[in-house]
Amino acid sequence: MIARIIWVAALLGIAIVSTAVHLDREARRTASLALYVPEIFRSGAQPRITALAIDSGIPEIGVAQAQKLVRRRPLPARHLRLLAQAQFAAGNNEASALAIQYAAQRGWRDALAQEAMMQIALAAGNRPEAARRYAALFLMRGTERALLEETGDAVFPEPGGEERMVFAQIVSGGERWHNAFLTRGARVMPPDAFVEIIEISAKDGTQFRCAALRQAQKAIEGEDQTLGKRLSSVLQSQC
């Protein structure tokens, strides 16, 4: 009899755990389920709980849930970004800025963290750092074209600026994304900055693919013939 009770209790325990784990997994897709996941089993549900807490209008709850999230899973950059949002909503600006810096360092593909760091760098007058964050956003397919267009002039305002050198170094160091740079850059970057970055990269030994470079040259020439001629010189030297 005792053995049977233990067996039934074990089955019941397994069923409860399985249900809780399944609920937690589903909560990643359906936010409303997160509230029904027992706290001890919250993994995928905790970011949802945190987001709801931040939106609750009670800053202290948002901060508490965000801190709990980071304690449980400190590695994902998104969790640090949620902590930054919670701290900002609570008026803890210094703590918020620190959290967003950590998030941006940890997650180069966290678009919101990179955008925030780019804006912080621009506000501080640190355009080279802003250029690094712009590059991170540039490399993400999901980054909206409008964002890159609107911030390009602020990040790359002057010919010969250090920020253009920094971006050129990033281009030179990433052969796999040369084509993406030429194609997307011609559409979203300030034309003079785009051309100068290509010139700097080529001078440093970067070899662009002729077809992509030729296409970029035609696109720029359609906007500015002088800049088009400069790119034509690079094209002739490489192709």
Is residue 172 domain-shared with residue 61, that is, in the same domain? no
Give per-residue pLDDT as tens, 62-120: 778 777 777 777 666 677 777 777 777 778 767 666 766 666 666 566 777 788 888 87
Question: What is the pLDDT confidence band of residue 57, given thresholds at 50, 70 and 90?
Answer: confident
If we measure between CA atoms, which residue out of 192, 114, 133, 112 comes closest to residue 160? 192
Is residue 100 domain-shared with residue 146, that is, in the same domain? no
**What is the CATH number for 59?**
1.25.40
Residue 63 token pair: 């901060």
If we measure between CA atoms, which residue out of 151, 159, 166 comes closest to residue 120? 151
Is residue 91 domain-shared with residue 161, that is, in the same domain? no
* Enclosing domain of residue 96: 1-107
Residue 126, φ and ψ in degrees, nearest 5: -100, 80
User: Distance (Å, rounded) from C-alpha 155 to C-alpha 187?
Assistant: 16
Is residue 53 domain-shared with residue 36, that is, in the same domain? yes
Residue 111 token pair: 């678009």
Asked whether residue 22 carries a pLDDT value surpassing 50, the answer given is no
Is residue 2 domain-shared with residue 67, that is, in the same domain? yes
Among 42, 72, 107, the domain-final residue is 107
Is residue 122 domain-shared with residue 228, that is, in the same domain? yes
Asked whether residue 42 carries a pLDDT value surpassing 60, the answer given is no
Confirm if 162 and 128 have CB atoms less than 8 A apart: yes
Q: What is the 3-state secondary structure (H, E, C) of 19-52?
A: HHHHHHHHHCCCHHHHHHCCHHHCCCHHHHHHHH
User: Distance (Å, rounded) from C-alpha 204 to C-alpha 172?
Assistant: 8
**Helix, strand, or coil (residue 62):** helix
For the chain, how many structural domains are there in total? 2
Confirm if 187 and 219 have CB atoms less than 8 A apart: yes
Is residue 37 domain-shared with residue 145, that is, in the same domain? no
The arithmetic mean of pLDDT across residues 44-54, rounded, is 71
Is residue 168 domain-shared with residue 69, that is, in the same domain? no
